[in-house]
Amino acid sequence: MSFCHEMIWNAHRMTFGESTRVMGILNVTPDSFSDGGKFYPLEKAVSHGLFLARAGADVLDVGGESTRPFSDPVPPDEEIRRVVPVIRALSRELDIPISIDTTKAAVAQAAIEAGASMINDVSALRFDPEMASVARESGVPVILMHMLGEPKTMQKAPHYEDVVGEIFLFLENAIRRAREKGIPKRLLIADPGIGFGKTLDHNLTLMAQLETFAALGVPLLVGPSRKAFIRTLLKGDAPGEISPRAPQVEVGTQAAVAAAIMNGAHMVRVHDVEKTRQTARIVDALVQARGPQKSRAITGAAS
């Protein structure tokens, strides 16, 4: 697969397009949809972060506030209390970038001071007017994600006339706003926000048409891991609900990861890094076999 984009910042360097990058999820929360409370104590969080790194994570994404549907916001001080000790401990042990998953500038600033080197903002810089300045002054990459509304309301009958077109336009505008606020395009990553204000059909359409987002000119992150659309498909007409931690949900996640990579994702955000590494190794080889003209291209990412 041909080289597409190299992102260099501070002490880090990462290429996108040659092989799939894997972002490991580390939720330091009592209420996340899949693993809430499981890694909430500091020792367990740090241990799991090290485990994800050993399993092959290219980035660790640490979050202290659940963004599951209908969740309530967490005060900045509490979010800082949850994530900063974990980031500080992990940054002493690891060389890979640590991302802070937050919409709050104060949390992002505290996390960066503790050792984080990337911002994953599910609001695409919309919720906190100071977030862009934190990113600009720290010189770290920013992930801009599409979400319809906010976590509390995003799954209340989400509607689009053209889900791909509308989300493309949203991300295009988010990139423009970030650049206007001094964040270079070479440090931006786009995420269409699978599961964030989308129905089952919306998610399937986005997954099938991911190649559309290559025209944004930045790396594409996709986060399908254990999402409700996977559980809904697996459940079919059976009664009851499937737990996000059920083995068949991880099988479904790997199928979604494979589809995302085949359709243009440069990085995937997942709970199970080890299995995703195995999936990515196979699918990357298949993508490479298509030939350079069909490999995952990024146009204009350095501008």
User: Would you please indicate which residues are annotated as catalytic (active-site) residues?
Assistant: 227, 269
Cα–Cα distances in Å, from 118 out to 67, 82, 257, 284?
18, 17, 22, 25
3-state secondary structure string across the chain = CCCCEEEEECCEEEEECCCCEEEEEEECCCCCCCCCCCCCCHHHHHHHHHHHHHCCCCEEEEECCCCCCCCCCCCHHHHHHHHHHHHHHHHHHCCCCEEEECCCHHHHHHHHHHCCCEEEECCCCCCCCCHHHHHHHHCCCEEEECCCCCCCCCCCCCCCCCHHHHHHHHHHHHHHHHHHCCCCHHHEEEECCCCCCCCHHHHHHHHHCHHHHHHHCCCEEECCCCCHHHHHHHHCCCCCCCCCCCHHHHHHHHHHHHHHHHCCCCEEEECCHHHHHHHHHHHHHHHHHCCHHHCCCCCCCCC
Neighbour tally for 47: CB within 10 Å: 13
Paired strand residues for 121: 144
